[in-house]
Amino acid sequence: MTARAIHRPVGNVTRGTTHPNRLRRMDRWIVAVQGRALRCAVDPVAVDLGYGAAPWTAVELLERLRGAAPRTRVVGVEIEPARVAAAKRYERDGLVFVHGGFEIPTVGRAVLIRAANVLRQYDEGEVPGVWERLCGRLAPDGLLVEGTCDEIGRRHVWVALGPEGPRTVTFATRLGSLERPSDLAERLPKALIHRNVPGESVYGFLRDFDRAWAAAAPYASYGARQRWMRAVRDLAGDWPVVDGPGRWRQGEVTVAWEALKPRG
């Protein structure tokens, strides 16, 4: 069995907005970071929490994860019963859809929980409790990826958490659509979006990123990718950037949570 019996799902119904390929940037990062853990797991279960009104993101997650870890199974979890019923016809080997919420109604613990565009509709004060609950459903080497993106997946920001709590924040974008790095502020996850004000760390980070981007303007003649990479390289002199050029080239940068977490 893949799912366990539940009573009342924990959480609220979301708007359910979804589009094909909306989460491709997040999924690409997940494959790079968590692919090995999925390959090594005895029971490599990944959860797509709150997949929305259509099951596209769960279907795509299975395809992308199986490219790196062929035994991976994906469980799509939705709190709205009608969405689960509509998704059932898309079930296949390795993919099921179940009714549930933050309790994560799976047998055993997940190696991956992806919660994209779910907590954006909650109050900031509710986030720590939800994170703690979800992290409690992770395997020892599991990863929770929680964040927000725009409607067509050009701009993402997400937090990665292990069983112990938050680890990193990743900013990812389609570079050709970016005017300045602080454009990503509107996609900050709920834990950070109200902290983009003077005196908060995330505000200082985006301010410094814009400055590095402006200083890297001469590299624009070589393309937006080269400008981004130069800006991130300069930014890493003052901020704890934890990835390298291979990820920067994808239009990403990942920073330690401790450097960006809310103050007070």
Give domain limits for the chain: 24-172, 175-257
pLDDT over 90, % of the chain: 91
The topology under which CATH files domain 24-172 is: Rossmann fold (3.40.50)
Give per-residue pLDDT as tens, 85-105: 999 999 999 999 999 999 999
Q: Kindly report the pTM of this predicted structure.
A: 0.94
| Residue 154 φ then ψ, to 5° | -80, -30
Which residues, listed in sequence order, are joined to residue 65 by a DSSP beta bridge?
none
Per-residue pLDDT reduced to its tens digit, 132-173: 999 999 999 999 999 999 999 999 999 999 999 999 999 999
Q: Which of 166, 143, 181, 119 is nearest to 27 (CA)?
A: 143
Q: How many CA atoms lie within 13 A of 251 on its CB side?
A: 21
> 108's torsion region: left (phi>0), alpha (psi -120 to 50) or beta?
left
